A and B are shown apart, each in its own frame.
Chain A
Amino acid sequence: MQADEVDTDWAALVSRVRDHQDKAAFAALFRHFAPRVKAFLMKSGADAALAEECAQDVMATLWQKAALFDPSRASVATWVFTIARNRRIDALRKARRAEPEELPWGPEPEPDQAEVLEAQQDTERLGAALSQLPEKQRALIERAFYGDLSHSEIAAETGLPLGTIKSRIRLALERLRQQMS
């Protein structure tokens, strides 16, 4: 990661794509995330040409679905990961893929900034926790996400502090539902 990228507010860039169709913001997102998506897809078994094509698809989806991104529930990295994972299933497995129903309302137009910050920092904190795991355990998590393990071989015990993330997302969902009723 380049030094000037460390503190980039990716969620703010996605908002600019959503609100102003800002192509400079999109280009910054592309330069950061496309090479990561490409690497992820190649580690999952795609050749370079297919991975490049799919990374483009993923970034185009980011452009199209910017309004559906909820920065109080996920970091941009996590959102991009889910788009890339879905693209991988479509391209490599050629299986049909069911997705959960979107919540019946979009993200709040002005989400609470403290919550947004928390969600955006999840990725950093998880990254730090991941790098501190024993090598064997981290390798197992990576293999699961790269598609090297069958579903019955995947262990849910990651050794990562996921409880706090889950609770925070749960509260965000609860608040959204209350606002709706």
Chain B
Amino acid sequence: MTIRHHLTDQLLMAYAAGELPEAFNLVVATHVSLCDECRAKLAAFEAVGGAMMEMTDTVAMSDDSLAACLDRIDGLSQANARRPLRRAGVFPAPLADYVGGGPEKVKWRAVGMGVKQAMLSTGRGASARLLYIPGGQAVPDHGHRGMELTMVLQGAFRDETDRFGRGDVEIADASMQHTPIAENGEVCICLAVTDAPLRFNAIIPRLAQPFLGI
């Protein structure tokens, strides 16, 4: 697997600072799980946080805090680094945690033409959903009011710009109108997050929009 479409530095920096809305946090954690390049970049941004904290003025802890902490760790077990090798399934761990397992656990809802989706429960400010697109099918054409990240988990899609396979993230902004089409073969499953409600262009999806909660 070669990932060619990565997260932006800005997203990685915002993740390092702990400032991303929950849905964006999820897609960053999911991509980094598969991508060493972005994992290394993220670690570099986190090193800035470490250096900054090291330079910050200190605020004294209360007198008994060390003793209290020593008491507390007394009964704590320590994690073992030698964990059993876990092969990433279709959903890397952070996403599997949200879904409660792999694609078979997703509560899909049909949105027409064999395409299905499932909203994930994430906090305010952005939303996340999973898309299930049979080979050869188009995702309903949609424009964006905000930023949308679409990460491929299985299969692949193409749009006007390029091909996107497992691990790739397509980043679209308000200026972009695109029509992703799933490649023939394996069903394409994607994680899509956006910080604005989607605006569908096709008539039927637009009518359906209020009922789909997006």
Contact = CB atoms under 8 A, between A and B. Distances in A.
Given A66-B78, A104-B83, A154-B19, A39 B48 contact: no
B47 A154 contact: no
Contacts of B80: 67, 106
Interface stretch (B84-92, B100-108, B155-163): B84-92
B184 interface: no
Most buried by B among A98, A154, A155, A163: A98
Contact of B61 (A35, A154, A165): A35
A113 interface: no
Contacts of A64: 73, 76-79
A78 B25 CA distance: 19
Given A67-B79, A104-B86, A131-B55, A123 B13 contact: no
Contacts of B92: 100-101
Contacts of B36: 170, 173-174, 177
Interface string A62-93: 01111110000111011111101110110001
A110 B177 CA distance: 52
Contact of A95 (B17, B22, B53): B22
Interface string B43-81: 111111111111111111110011011101100111111
B122 interface: yes
Most buried by B among A52, A74, A101, A173: A101
Nearest to A17: B78
B70 A26 contact: yes
A77 B50 contact: yes
Given A23-B70, A98-B29, A52 B83 contact: no
Interface in A86-135: 86, 88-89, 93, 95-102, 104-107, 122-124, 126-127, 130-131
Contacts of B58: 35-36, 38-39
Most buried by A among B17, B46, B54, B80: B54
B43 A166 contact: yes
Contacts of A12: none
**A contact face: mostly helix, strand, loop, or mixed:** helix
Contact of A101 (B9, B50, B79, B93): B93
B53 A27 contact: no
A179 to B, nearest CB: 12
Nearest to A157: B9
Contacts of B40: 166-167, 169-170, 173
B51 A169 contact: no
B94 interface: yes
Interface in B104-160: 122-123
Interface of A: 18, 21, 23, 26-27, 30-31, 34-40, 42-43, 48, 51-52, 55-56, 59-60, 63-68, 73-75, 77-82, 84-86, 88-89, 93, 95-102, 104-107, 122-124, 126-127, 130-131, 141-142, 144-145, 147, 149-151, 154-158, 160, 162-163, 165-167, 169-170, 173-174, 177, 180
17 contacts: A21-B78, A38-B58, A60-B72, A68-B81, A74-B47, A81-B52, A95-B22, A105-B82, A127-B51, A147-B17, A156-B10, A156-B12, A156-B13, A156-B45, A162-B48, A169-B43, A177-B36
Interface of B: 8-14, 16-22, 24-26, 28-30, 32-33, 36-37, 39-62, 65-66, 68-70, 72-73, 76-83, 85-88, 92-95, 97-98, 122-123
